[in-house]
Amino acid sequence: MLLNGKVALVTGSANGMGRGIARRFAEEGCDLIINDLSLDAAERVAGEIRSLGRRAIAVKADITNSDEVENMTQAAVKEFGKIDILVNNAGGVPGTAGRGNSDNITSEEWDRVVDLNLTGPFLVTMSVLPVMKRNNYGKIIFISSMGAVSPCVSVLHYHTAKAGILGLTINLAFELAPQNIYVNAIVPGPVDTTFWNALVPAGPEREALFSAIAKKEVPLERIGRPEDIAGPALFLASQLSDFVTGQIIYAAGGQPLLAHGATFNIEAFLMARAQGRTQSVV
């Protein structure tokens, strides 16, 4: 197994891509720290990991709170003695209801979303790094977003934060390479997770949106699944990538191969949805 004997902390791993990554790691012999804002949800996934024959603990922690982050790191070290792999997955746009362009963004919302998607991963990384440095080994994986490099909707705070993640990845990779700590990033394309709940509730409209995105945005003509991100994460977490650092992997079904001018306008879809005429833009 590719991760036999390794310990991984995956933030935001109670659902979506984080859960998919955690389960894939467990299948390859990894023990897990499952993190989420909901302890019950984290415990549920930790139970799934244990059912696969691996050890797991659930930790409730807000990644934007440095004290809670440090407590999470200490709980991991107390249980496992080390952290070999860190996946900075937690993020999103909760509570924005589609807001984020220059006409409706607020400074308070900017601070909140940037804290969650850039400062939070930074805080977790800074907390875990001393553990990795003591062991002279680590694999750090950041999850960015296609919107950081090829947006099809204006979400200024989220996309700016995710672009910052790419800069953080490259700079940390340069700094930490002599200490045998690898730092890479994954840029997912559209993936069917709870992330979309802040934009379009589950149901026929979301299915229509996904169908349009798949047809007009993704060369492989389908929306991604969490396991589509778990595969690249496994590569970056394992010895298969022991000569790979400072790299950005696009796990996006062929994006951004399409010319940007031909992309599907999600913003127009959301506006039309608010006016009850989504069929006209799908």
How far does CA 258 lie from the centroid of its chain?
Answer: 23
Strand partners, 57: 33
- The pTM (predicted TM-score) of the whole model is 0.88
Would you call 31 helix, strand, or coil by DSSP? strand
Q: Which of 199, 95, 182, 103 is nearest to 147 (CA)?
A: 199
Specify which residues 248 forms β-bridges with: 185
Residue 169 near residue 236 (C-beta atoms within 8 A): no
Mean pLDDT for each consecutive 10-residue tract of the chain (282 residues)? 98 96 98 98 98 98 98 98 98 78 90 97 98 98 92 86 98 98 94 68 73 79 89 98 97 72 55 55 41
**In the sheet where 85-88 sits, what is the strand order?**
56-60, 31-36, 7-10, 85-88, 138-143, 181-188, 248-251
Among candidate residues 181, 149, 188, 187, the one with its CA nearest the CA of residue 245: 181
3-state secondary structure of 34: strand
Distance (Å) of CA 106 to CA 114, 156, 164, 186: 12, 11, 19, 28
Residue 154: the pLDDT is 83
Q: Specify the pLDDT at position 102.
A: 86
Q: pLDDT tens across 143-201, in order?
A: 999 889 987 778 899 999 999 999 999 999 999 999 999 999 999 988 877 666 656 66
Residue 43, CA atoms < 13 Å, CB-side half-sphere: 3
User: Does the active-site annotation cover 158?
Assistant: yes
Distance CA 77, CA 254 (A): 39
Q: Which domains does the chain have, with CATH numbers?
A: 7-196+223-254 (3.40.50.720)
